[in-house]
Structure 1
Amino acid sequence: MNAPAQSPAQLPVQLPESIRVFERGWLSSNNVLLVDETRAALVDTGYATHAAQTVALVRHALGTRALDLIVNTHLHSDHCGGNAQLQAAWPCETRIPARSAAVVRDWDETRLTFRATGQTCERFGFTGTLVPGERLALGGFEWEVIGAPGHDPDSVMLYAAGPRLLISADALWEHGFGVIFPELDGESGFAEQQAVLETIAKLDVRIVIPGHGAPFANVETALERAFSRLAWLRADPARNARNALKVLIVFKLLEVRTMTLATLDTMLDDAAAMRAAASQLAPRHAWRALLGELTAELAKSGALVLNGERIEAPALAA
């Protein structure tokens, strides 16, 4: 059977030969490999349980060449979970957002996001930082580091004016953006996300390489969707909390494949981000009912399977 014809908006975009995107499904973010005569760099490294696969993808792409540099746009577990294994495979430099340096240096688990989201990340080190306004030479192009708080207060994007490319991480996807996590803790995040979207709108961007999903060229349409979604979230912050809790439930379930509602209920007490989201939606005594409601909605959408008190990830495609 022939595949259906694609509209122009759906056709794969053409990236420079020096840039390759490993488009990953959940649990991992996309990995962007940039190779030139001087070095090979990887932007973002996926989730810990996919780390061996990330190493294999990079090794296959580079052949006998070494990976010289890791760049992390931000330190959520799906963007830096492969750091440790990549560092073990190659003696590469690693650069992280400057605002995250202290917590990584001390491996402060109360301030790192991994435990707060019920996720894992093997400890890694870093050799340098990324400061908004500085420039990096990657893949034969000059990239400007742009601050991108909102989804994460420390996050950055990379913009290359020559080829008009933006590595947007979770600040802009083709159909939205990442959860606005600061708002779960009562901190400002919506205003920062608004400012980031406005910054992107002022850039001359031909192609966006997002943290999740395929690279896309319909930038104006994506921005319109993102501005609309942000306005919808700001009108009722509980929507952001509800979305966050659903995302974190599905993420954990995709990792462990099956768990009970009782286990999930216990996670709400242990994982600060999940607890904060639940607290915005219901009092503690009503969390079990809240989980029942949310998992029923997720089951209806096909994101999980309900089997009595047990919830399961959908069967993997053959």
Structure 2
Amino acid sequence: MNTPDSIVAAAARHGLHYPCGDPPGPGQVKAVAPGVLWLRMALPSSLQHINLWALEDDDGWTIVDTGIHAPEVVRDWEALLAGPLAGRPVRRVLVTHLHADHVGMAGWLTRRSGGRLWMTRLEYLTTLAMAGEDATELSPDGVAFYRRAGWDDDAIARYGARLGRFQSIVHPLPDSYRRIRDGETLRIGGRDWRVVVGAGHCPEHACLYSEDLRLLISGDQVLPRISSNVSVQPREPDADPLAEWVASLHKLLAAVPSDVLVLPSHNEPFTGLHARLVALEASVLRKLGKLRSALAQPCRVVDLFAALFAGPMTSDDAMRYSLATGETLAHLNYLLNLGEVEAEEDASGVVWYRVSR
């Protein structure tokens, strides 16, 4: 996990800048580059908004990401389609990845417009699998996963009460899609956009890079003010998403120049891509160092939240508690795979971690 010294030095000389000004309001758009419009949709969470993008596509539009499926988002999409986007049909709905704020309205938009859904294969198929999961109770494997992390009965009950949330805010996807692949060049509105796939935050996240416009649509793979959640999920408890995340940071450093305008899904468009990538890797290194120190004594996952996150972490906020669990496990699995940490399950099914002896 070593970034070349020349890139670190260059990144240190150049901070982040936000050249696009105020974001567009509901039902409004803002041009950020020739043929590229900035849209925003509200979110019922601390993030508050997601950024979406409309790309002029000859006589139509390619929409990148969609917002959650909710009445207020439907209202704002209807206003956009009748107002700023009127006169050109939606030809494509391109979704960067499977999270509900990105894919939630994709089925609605494709049915409403007749446009086709474009996604990477793993994101499309995983979305279908998640939408089809039983939303009535936590599976035995899910209960065991959280028990191993040190959750008590109350925490599991609070999390179980949230089941069905994904299905409630994701409109059913179309039964077919157009697969996009890493390294593929998409022709949109007379310009080439190269697909750069990353991982860690989700299985096969698509970013779009236009060399002509010096523009990167980064989705959640690079955010300027917050870091993306990198989590181990109950369905794959031995996964190592942090290794995939760090490899993706290096991939973007090599594949995309530093002077691009980055269009992220949250916060504002910014410049200073390489500086941000270096800072994100440095954050990973700091957290791993804190974890090593905390693991001088045996700890459960829930005992390690204070080492990795600011502020108290309680099961009163079931979503935040589960995200913290998944992210802590991502760091632990990374160290386990390096042989720096060992794990032992006790008689009650709880796993205790400590630095290797």
Structure 1 partner of 2:102: 79
Return the offset for 1:29: 2.5
Distance in 1, Cα, partners of 2:276 & 2:324: 31
Q: Flag the structure with higher helix content.
A: 1
Question: In structure 1, how many angstroms separate the alpha carbons of the residues matched to 2:328 and 2:181?
Answer: 34
Give percent identity, aligned residues only: 20
- Alignment RMSD: 4.0
2:173 paired residue number: 124
Which residue of the partner structure matches residue 79 of structure 2? 56
The CA distance in 1 between the partners of 2:327 and 2:18, in whole Å, is: 37
Deviation (angstroms), 1:97: 1.3
Q: Return the alpha-carbon distance in structure 2 between the equivalents of residues 117 and 279 of structure 1.
A: 24
Alpha-carbon distance in structure 1 between the residues aligned to 2:82 and 2:307: 39
Map of 2:286 onto structure 1: 232
The 10-residue stretch of structure 1 (144-153 or 101-110) with the greater mean CA deviation from structure 2: 101-110
Q: Specify every segment of 5 or more residues in structure 1 that has no aligned partner in the other structure, as ranges.
A: 1-6, 250-260, 284-318
Match of 1:299 in 2: none
2:138 is aligned to none
In 1, Cα distance between equivalents of 2:128 and 2:19: 43
Q: How many residues align?
A: 258
Q: Distance in 1 between matches of 2:306 and 2:233?
A: 8
Aligned-partner Cα distance in 1 for 2:41–2:229? 18
Whether 1:9 and 2:37 are equivalent positions in the alignment is: no
1:93-242 equivalences in 2 (<5 Å): 93-104=116-127, 109-110=132-133, 118-119=165-166, 120-125=169-174, 126-182=176-232, 185-202=237-254, 203-205=256-258, 206-235=260-289, 236=291, 238-239=304-305
Q: Is the contact between residue 46 and residue 81 of structure 1 (CA under 8 Å) also seen in structure 2?
A: yes
Distance 1:111 1:171, change over 3 A: farther
Instruction: Specify the code of the residue in structure 2 equivalent to 1:11.
Output: P
Does 214-223 or 9-18 show the bigger shift?
Answer: 9-18
CA distance in 2, matches of 1:155, 1:44: 12
Q: CA deviation at 1:104?
A: 4.6
Distance 1:198 1:274, change over 3 A: closer
Is the Cα–Cα contact under 8 Å of residues 52 and 63 in structure 2 kept in the other structure? yes
Larger Rg: 2
- Structure with higher RCO (Cα < 8 A, 6+ apart): 2
Q: Retained in 2: the 8 A contact 1:170–1:212?
A: yes
Contact map agreement 1:183 1:189 (CA 8 A) in 2: no
Are 1:20 and 1:32, in contact at CA under 8 Å, matched by a contact in 2? yes
Alpha carbons of 1:97 and 1:20: their partners in 2 closer, same or farther (altered >3 Å)? same
Quote how far apart the aligned CAs of 1:9 are. 2.4
1:300 maps to which residue?
none
For normalisation by structure 1, the TM-score amounts to: 0.68
SS of match in other structure, 1:151: coil
Verify the 8 A CA contact 1:233 1:239 in the aligned structure 2.
no
User: Aligned equivalents of 1:229 and 1:176: distance in 2?
Assistant: 11
1:312 paired residue number: none
| CA pair 8-192 structure 1, distance change in 2 beyond 3 A | closer
| 1:23 to partner: Cα distance | 3.6
Post-superposition shift, 1:116?
6.5
Check if 1:45 corresponds to 2:66.
yes
Residue 99 of structure 2 aligns with an amino acid whose one-letter code is H
1:21-49 Cα offsets, whole Å, 9 max, x none, are: 11445345211100032431000001112
Report the Cα distance in structure 1 between the residues aligned to 2:202 and 2:306, rounded to whole angstroms. 14
